[in-house]
Chains A and B, each alone.
Chain A
């Protein structure tokens, strides 16, 4: 019995030190696995054409293999700033609309005792299950009929519609866990319903709005098939379509460099957006409203 103790102690001392290594290694491997395609694109966008084509692959380019040419080419040959602007405008407009329509709808679904609430929710859920790829041909007819082709609205409206169900579902569950006492307290204090919603409910809703807003924005920013179908004018294209349509000097040349540069430039705004709003999301503004 007595001899067993020091042995035990030794193993317990050793085990955490192994754990100390395993966890960071696992994290590093996971991060690498997730980021590898992006890192590869990033690397490609900074390499010269020769370095891109070289076999075996150049993982660690030398100083003479690095260049900013790919980005320069992108802006010289194409109106890339224009694409960025288009993407930004369409994504922002549909995000604002989705939140503006979805949040009040979610509030009504969460707080009012509506007849047929379950049917409405089931309907909302079913819409999310519907693959958008099946929609675009039908939507094309509508777009033609309404003469919305080559109009930002032809993207803003469907993006808003597609993202509404998610907004409603997420916001509804958020409103449900928002303490109702706060709204009662506001009413006892003398707030009218609109002022209560604006002054009390809205400030507490900001984290949830930021979360769902980011999701909507990303979905709209990355959307490809509608943008490809409804917009044909060069100066109105969005980043994903423009990036995919980058061509080389001949049909046999694939311009890997500019495509990589376009991908990087198309991703940076999203990364920035998430980083900026992340603080909002984590902040958790509701803390301290009630006990806990």
Chain B
């Protein structure tokens, strides 16, 4: 049987004006790792709670393996969840914590033991089995919380920011662990985070949310290289993408002294040019599209310098940030000529913020 989770026009409204989830539809299949990514308050946690059944949707459906489970209580849906705070029962031992879900489902005790044994092998929890959660470190608690979900063999795994309570070093380690672990499960995983690194590294697909709306649902690569709109472009990637509002003339954008061809078929008066700091580089020759500016801040990031440049041409001063190699020894106030490779430029509509594509409009991906 292929495990599958589907959301159909899912909507949650607390009051007519407070609507954290607005008509979300998506599906997650077996072996897929879907990350719900967005700033705080975008409705990602609410979606997870709706899937879990901890909240009731105002309208829309949650389908698990094709069956409508929208009205079932959390215990009656075959789901398992890792909470941000791990939510281990403090008065029970690790073993009892892991076993509780199985015991409530009247699993034969022999099978409970063998399943727990298997999971304990998998996660290396054997020595911890008779300890209480209070005697465990943060990373160990996290593993126990994961074990509690694995042992259930659910139809879908739900993870609510499981890494946010770990310190930076451990987080990187556990992140890799989680990827291997859930990659081997062949069960849909829905993961909630506000950390784009986690989203990019873990997921097979990422759903970027804002204000309760699905902004883009795509692979991490496409989310990064072809953001569907200005919000996604600005939210994904650090340091943030540069946005320049530029005038257009005859299918060409006027950038400083040079003209960059617009995507085919668009003839607007103004357009937003988006380019990531890592794609901006120092102009080598005078014939590539470039802007003259003056360095006003250099931040050393170790591998690169993050250089903020004030562009002097044009009526209003614009700031462009560029990730430049350490070989460019730029001092503050030094003049610099920045080139924008046309291949790396993203174009966005001034009014809607949507991506302007070079090809036919049917290719526009938007949730």
Contacts and interface: CB of A to CB of B under 8 A. Distances in A.
Interface string A261-292: 00000000000000000000000011111110
B87 A285 contact: no
A123 interface: no
B104 interface: yes
A190 B138 contact: no
A182 B73 CA distance: 16
B170 to A, nearest CB: 12
B89 A289 contact: yes
A190 B53 CA distance: 11
Contact of B73 (A187, A200, A287): A187
Contacts of A290: 85-87
Contacts of B50: none
B74 A187 contact: yes
B30 interface: no
B350 interface: no
Contacts of B86: 181, 290-291
Nearest to A187: B74
Contact of B101 (A181, A184, A190): A190
Contacts of B89: 182, 185-186, 200, 289
Contacts of B74: 184, 187-188, 190
A12 B141 CA distance: 45
Nearest to A206: B91
Given A188-B81, A289-B133, A291-B165, A182 B87 contact: yes
A290 B89 CA distance: 9
B68 to A, nearest CB: 19
Interface string B78-103: 01110111111111000000001100
B202 to A, nearest CB: 21
A185 B105 CA distance: 15
A192 interface: yes
Contacts of B132: 288
A253 interface: no
B75 A181 contact: no
B52 interface: yes
A179 interface: yes
A181 B85 CA distance: 7
Contacts of A189: 75, 100-101, 104, 148
B124 interface: no
Contacts of A200: 89
Contacts of A291: 85-86, 138, 141, 165
Interface string B141-153: 1000000100000
A65 B87 CA distance: 63
Nearest to B90: A289
Contacts of B313: none
A51 interface: no
Contacts of B76: 190
Given A287-B134, A288-B135, A289-B133, A190 B87 contact: no
A285 B100 CA distance: 19
A181 B133 contact: no
A179 B105 contact: no
Interface string A187-224: 11111100100001001100000000000000000000
6 contacts: A184-B54, A184-B81, A187-B75, A188-B75, A204-B91, A287-B134
